[in-house]
A and B are shown apart, each in its own frame.
Chain A
Amino acid sequence: MPGLIILAILAIAAVFFSLSRARALNVSGGQLSNLHSRPFYHGLYSLLWVAIIGLGVFLTVLFLGSNLINMLLLGEAREAFPDGSTIEYQLLMNDARAIASGGIPSRVDTLREALAGKYATLENIYAMSLLILPAAAALLTGAVTLRQVDVNWRARNRAERVIRFILLGAAVIAVLTTIGIVLSLIFETLNFFNNIGWRVDKYLFGTRWSPLSGVHDGSMDADKVGAIPLFAGTFLITIIAMLVAVPVGLFAAIYLSDYASPKVRAWAKPMLEILAGVPTVVYGFFAAITVAPFIRRTGESLGLSVASESALAAGVVMGIMIIPFISSLSDDVINAVPQSLRDGSYGLGATKAETIRQVVLPAALPGIVSAVLLGISRAVGETMIVVMAAGQGANLTLNPLEAVTTVTVQIVMLITGDTEASTAAGPAFTLGFTLFCITLVLNVIALRVVRKYRELYD
């Protein structure tokens, strides 16, 4: 249905495109040079406005409509049945909706029937207005733009200005996304902090994580929302990952940029690119099916007790995932070190290794640091590997052979768990917000460093 309405609006726009173009041709009196703008632009101007207004009205009605109905009904319900809990109202609304649409309600009583009747009427009005309002708005706009067609009408400039606003709008979507992320995360986070009585310190520094136990009337036990075990687990796995990824990635980059023959480069670089293109869920499968059992067996043959979801397995595989990331970023900065510096060093009789260690790497250091920071930010935010291969219980340890859980694992568990969505969303979004802040800081620092570094050598 919504798809059809969109198509209808676009069709109206197309009709007005040809109408305006024809009218422009008409007013030109067959002499195109009389026109300020070519007929095409008159048509385009109409088309753009009709489409924008029509789609805008459609989306507004779509967005406002269902929320408005909900609000009206909820007000009605509150009037007839005050002092209910949120869940009771929700149930009431669901039942009313079910009755109205011929579904199966949990209970039928007069209030529900009344609400259902109201709902059905409102829904009808909504459906009608969803169809009529956008179409009417589009037709009206079309008529206005059609009237504006004139010999002196600067349709091209006008149309171009509209297009430029569309372009600006596209660019602003990135900003809107960020705002959307921040707002949606902050809203639930504040909600959550409110539910634990603003004991933010207990969240940041507490050592017991079991947020869904002891939930009472939406308020949570502040002693059970300590995220330190999650931070520690994330930290442990990240450290392991970086211990794998940084040396391997860095040495690979050094080798590829300064030692490797073109032949070796020709297969080693695509190999690293393939490694970078493997989806994380595949790495997760690899960690759970191949690496974790391998580490467990190896550990047991050495007489160590290894958890089957050890931090080591998840960390190592995550490290492998990040190798190409580190190596390609490092490769870029190492290659960006000017050849003249290398020549200067060779000219003094330095070996390649000395040149790399004492001239190239120090020169590339800021870039490498930012590559490592971006790598850490990736590891911290990585989800699938840890969901599939790391533990789920909040376990405060720094032993890599034990199972630990991470921030991302807990988010997934909370959101996909059986608990009521409104309860689980609090801790999940708070963790998400924490994650967002950490990665944002890392990214900002890394991008700053890179930018400074570029200025130095460009």
Chain B
Amino acid sequence: MVDMATLSAHHGSQASRARLRKRKMAELRLKAYGIAAILVAGIALLTLMSSVVGQATRAMTESYITLPVTLSAEDLDPDGTGDPSVIGKANFGGFVKDVLKEVFPTVTGRSARRELYDLPSSGAAFELREQVMSDPSLIGQTMDMTFLASDVTDLYLKGDFGKLRPQPHSGDLTVVLADDGETAEIRTNSNDFANALAEVKEELLDQAVLLRRQARLQNTGAEVFAARATRTEYADAKADLEAQSASRIVERDRLAGLAEDLERRAGEPDGTEALSDNSPTVIIRVGDGWAKMTEIGMTGGKADVVLPIGAADAIPPGDWKLYLHDLPETARKISDQQIIWIEALNERGQIKSVFNTRFFSAGDSREPELAGIWGAAVGSFWTMLVTFGLAFPIGVLAAIYLEEFAPKNRLTDFVEVNINNLAAVPSIVFGLLGLAVFLGTFGVPRSSPLAGGIVLALMTLPTIIIASRAAIRAVPPSIRDAALGLGASRLQTSFHHVLPLAMPGILTGTIIGMAQALGETAPLIMIGMVAFIVDIPTGITDSATVLPVQVFRWSDFPERAFEARTAAAICVLLLFLVIMNALAVFLRKRFERRW
């Protein structure tokens, strides 16, 4: 028997108090989960934004190299015509290369020259051409001209491939040049290279660890094959497996031997160490002369001269510099020589970094330093124009019909269900629709803002219809009654009274739908707006791309410099979205009426 009064006494008892504590804990837990969920969402948003903005800031500047140029007539306009069309045919690419050769006359050999030519952008020659064509009087003059730096140069200057770290040193430097002047003996009278040597040795140990790991893998393989060999019943298979095992043992021992050798070298307190492409780079600089060490001991070693260095005796520590670069040459896109050239140019003040206006005014390009988003932005504009022109009137008219005129029957019901379902159809399916129907059957030009706009309009239509219906429904029936009571027809009532009152809500919904359309990518890829288009589109039937598709394309390119540009393009896209949403919020706040 349970007596209710006894139960009543339970409230406030010791047991109930203990239970209450537990219940309160559960309460706190649920609350904590809630806060955690909000925090997770917040952190996700923050990480997303900071990773995008962080990347984007690096695309906001571009680098230029200033070089002295003599625009000699024999190179550019041998006949002295002064005619831009003749000048345009001159070999400006070769001309820029000649300029570089003059700046660094000691650079010889095909591969070294090619590295040198990679310092300015391939677009620099075109820009020079344009400049000279628009002002032929420049020919014959000598002046300083700026050349756009290549993406690799620009990235190095922004610190993407590490920095040269100056090392402390206290010794006097002696340089003994070899006969050809291309290599040199470097000596100091103090242990100035100890630090560099230690880093090199550390690198050796790292390599040894890798080799050991590979040796272990080979060992496992050997064991596996040996075990299989004992299990198998067929003689030929057995022989084969044993051979496999043996070859792995050989490889294991070879790797282990290499690792041992590396460890031994690393373990020796001094001695010399040859530097390979996988070692940290050690660089010596005396005045304008630069050399890259190829072998170092505690007090110096051998070096390759990159920029002419004079033979000298006992240069005091203040007059020479020792640099270390942690990233080995193989781990970066830029070679040691290129670093030295850039540093040398930088030292002479021939490199400058300016705000990247090109990014906002240029079309697409395969070269990251030349690529801009203006083409995509204009493409987006045309596409949105088509989308708005179709989706807004159709959406509003459909909403008026469904709210004000549609009879309550199965057809209307079907239309409604249809609209709701259409709102949740994956966007890529709309792309397939566009591909099959508008490109295939109706022959709308491929890649054109017209095709993109139609597809996006169909996609946005449900959003606009649903928002417009809500806005129309919010207009109180009393307004309709008043108009109808004065003898207006239902159509007049709808267009003269209901629609103007619902307009702010309709516009808000339309802007939100347009914002969605502006960020949409997948359906546009389906209808070919992913093509490489350099020209700025001038109408709705030109080939074009749009901002989000541009983001997608750039993110797919291997050049590292595109990463920052992709992020910058995202920022531009987000900026437009923010503006549109702010407009929607403003409209809602300013004109929203509550009845």
Binding site for B on A (CB under 8 A): 63, 66, 156, 160, 163-164, 166-168, 170-175, 177-178, 180-181, 184-185, 187-188, 247-252, 254-256, 259-260, 264, 268, 271-272, 274-275, 277-286, 288-290, 320, 323-324, 327, 351-354, 356-357, 374, 377-378, 380-384, 387-388, 408, 411-412, 415-416, 425, 428-429, 432, 435-436, 439-440, 443-444, 447
B429 touches A285 (CB 8 A): no
Instruction: Report Cα–Cα, A279/B570, bound state, in Å.
Output: 9
Given contacts A187-B436, A278-B574, A381-B425, contact A174 B34 (CB under 8 A): no
Which 8 pairs show the lowest CB-CB distances between chains A and B?
Answer: A381-B426, A255-B34, A279-B519, A184-B436, A251-B37, A170-B397, A167-B401, A383-B522
> How far does the Cβ of B480 sit from chain A's closest Cβ, in whole Å?
16
B38 touches A289 (CB 8 A): no
A285 touches B41 (CB 8 A): no
B426 touches A184 (CB 8 A): no
Closest to B50 in A: A290
Given A170-B398, A280-B522, 8 further pairs, Cβ under 8 A: A168-B405, A174-B461, A255-B33, A356-B30, A381-B429, A412-B428, A435-B426, A443-B425
A436 touches B37 (CB 8 A): no
Query: Does B489 reach chain A (CB closer than 8 Å)?
Result: yes
> How far does the Cβ of B379 sit from chain A's closest Cβ, in whole Å?
15
Closest to A276 in B: B516
Instruction: Report Cα–Cα, A158/B551, bound state, in Å.
Output: 51
Instruction: Report Cα–Cα, A352/B55, bound state, in Å.
Output: 44
A280 touches B521 (CB 8 A): yes
Interface residues of B in 514-535 (CB under 8 A from A): 515, 518-522, 525-526, 530
Which residues of the other chain, B, contact A281 by a CB distance below 8 angstroms?
519, 521, 548-549, 551-552, 570
A290 touches B51 (CB 8 A): yes
> How far does the Cβ of B44 sit from chain A's closest Cβ, in whole Å?
5
Instruction: Report Cα–Cα, A436/B427, bound state, in Å.
Output: 10
Closest to A157 in B: B489
Query: Does B402 reach chain A (CB closer than 8 Å)?
Result: yes
A/B interface sample: 27 pairs, CB < 8 A: A163-B491, A164-B491, A174-B418, A175-B415, A181-B430, A185-B429, A187-B436, A251-B34, A252-B34, A264-B38, A271-B41, A275-B41, A277-B519, A280-B521, A281-B549, A282-B519, A282-B573, A285-B570, A289-B563, A323-B44, A353-B23, A353-B26, A353-B30, A377-B426, A378-B426, A436-B429, A444-B421
Instruction: Report Cα–Cα, A139/B10, bound state, in Å.
Output: 93
Query: Does B566 reach chain A (CB closer than 8 Å)?
Result: yes
Binding site for A on B (CB under 8 A): 23-24, 26-27, 29-31, 33-38, 40-42, 44-45, 47-48, 51-52, 55, 393-395, 397-398, 400-402, 405-406, 414-415, 417-422, 424-433, 435-437, 440-443, 458, 461-462, 465, 489, 491, 515, 518-522, 525-526, 530, 548-549, 551-552, 555-556, 563, 566-567, 570, 573-574, 577, 581
Given contacts A170-B401, A252-B37, A429-B436, contact A411 B461 (CB under 8 A): no
Which residues of the other chain, A, contact B437 by a CB distance below 8 angstroms?
180, 184
> By CB atoms of chain B within 10 A, which of A272, A281, A285, A381 has the most?
A281
Closest to A177 in B: B458
Given contacts A388-B552, A415-B525, contact A167 B405 (CB under 8 A): yes
Which residues of the other chain, A, contact B29 by a CB distance below 8 angstroms?
353
Which residues of the other chain, A, contact B51 by a CB distance below 8 angstroms?
286, 289-290
> By CB atoms of chain A within 10 A, which of B37, B51, B52, B433 has the most?
B37
Closest to B430 in A: A181
B428 touches A351 (CB 8 A): no
B433 touches A174 (CB 8 A): no
B522 touches A408 (CB 8 A): yes
> How far does the Cβ of A243 sit from chain B's closest Cβ, in whole Å?
13
Which residues of the other chain, A, contact B406 by a CB distance below 8 angstroms?
171
B426 touches A436 (CB 8 A): yes
Given contacts A281-B551, A415-B525, A429-B436, contact A435 B44 (CB under 8 A): no
Instruction: Report Cα–Cα, A411/B436, bound state, in Å.
Output: 14
> How far does the Cβ of B442 sit from chain A's closest Cβ, in whole Å?
6
Which residues of the other chain, A, contact B520 by a CB distance below 8 angstroms?
279
A254 touches B522 (CB 8 A): no
Which residues of the other chain, B, contact A185 by a CB distance below 8 angstroms?
429, 432-433, 436
Instruction: Report Cα–Cα, A382/B520, bound state, in Å.
Output: 11
> By CB atoms of chain B within 10 A, which of A285, A288, A416 has the most?
A285
B433 touches A412 (CB 8 A): no
A383 touches B421 (CB 8 A): no
Which residues of the other chain, B, contact A411 by a CB distance below 8 angstroms?
428, 432, 526
Closest to B23 in A: A351
A429 touches B421 (CB 8 A): no
Instruction: Report Cα–Cα, A290/B52, bound state, in Å.
Output: 9
Given contacts A188-B436, A286-B51, A416-B530, contact A166 B397 (CB under 8 A): yes
> How far does the Cβ of A245 sit from chain B's closest Cβ, in whole Å?
10
> By CB atoms of chain A within 10 A, which of B38, B394, B440, B525 has the most?
B38
A447 touches B530 (CB 8 A): no
Given contacts A285-B555, A383-B522, contact A167 B400 (CB under 8 A): yes
B414 touches A175 (CB 8 A): yes
Instruction: Report Cα–Cα, A283/B521, bound state, in Å.
Output: 12
Given contacts A279-B519, A354-B23, contact A439 B30 (CB under 8 A): no
> How far does the Cβ of A430 sit from chain B's closest Cβ, in whole Å?
11
Closest to B530 in A: A416
A351 touches B26 (CB 8 A): yes
A160 touches B426 (CB 8 A): no
Which residues of the other chain, A, contact B35 by a CB distance below 8 angstroms?
255
Instruction: Report Cα–Cα, A285/B461, bound state, in Å.
Output: 28
Instruction: Report Cα–Cα, A282/B424, bound state, in Å.
Output: 20
> How far does the Cβ of A425 sit from chain B's closest Cβ, in whole Å?
8
> How far does the Cβ of B384 sit from chain A's closest Cβ, in whole Å?
14
Given contacts A171-B406, A271-B42, A288-B555, contact A443 B421 (CB under 8 A): yes
Instruction: Report Cα–Cα, A279/B521, bound state, in Å.
Output: 8
> How far does the Cβ of B486 sit from chain A's closest Cβ, in whole Å?
15
Which residues of the other chain, B, contact A323 by a CB distance below 8 angstroms?
40-41, 44
Which residues of the other chain, B, contact A288 by a CB distance below 8 angstroms?
555
A164 touches B405 (CB 8 A): yes
Which residues of the other chain, B, contact A254 by a CB distance below 8 angstroms?
30, 33-34
Which residues of the other chain, B, contact A327 by a CB distance below 8 angstroms?
41
Given contacts A167-B398, A255-B35, A271-B45, contact A381 B24 (CB under 8 A): no
